[in-house]
């Protein structure tokens, strides 16, 4: 979901983006059920795009997060 969001926000002078850093934190194991992932644009500064994602179980409990810095190329 992050790649799709990042490419939506690319400036016209850039044609692609690559992951600079990705920090994943796992808070709980998932053994069954549906996972929902929400991805949000945190900040866009020059060539950097900062994106956050959260993964939630069926009860809405956050089970993992992903904080990523993308670099526009």
pLDDT, residue 4, reads 78
The continuous run of DSSP H or E covering 71 comes out as strand 62-72
Q: What is the pLDDT of residue 12?
A: 78
Which pLDDT score is estimated for 1? 63
Q: Which residues contact 45 (CB under 8 A, 6 or more apart)?
A: none
Please list the pLDDT of the chain residue by residue as tens digits (73 residues).
678 788 787 877 888 889 999 999 999 999 999 999 999 999 999 899 999 999 999 999 999 999 999 999 9
- φ/ψ of 68, rounded to 5, equals -135, 145
């Amino acid at each position: 979901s992050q790649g799709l969001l990042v490419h939506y926000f690319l400036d016209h002078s850039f044609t692609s983006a690559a992951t600079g850093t990705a920090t994943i934190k796992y808070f709980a194991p998932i053994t069954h059920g549906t996972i929902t992932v929400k991805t949000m644009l945190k900040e866009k500064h020059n060539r950097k795009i900062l994106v956050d994602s959260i993964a939630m179980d069926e009860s809405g409990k956050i089970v993992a997060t992903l904080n990523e810095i993308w670099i526009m190329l």
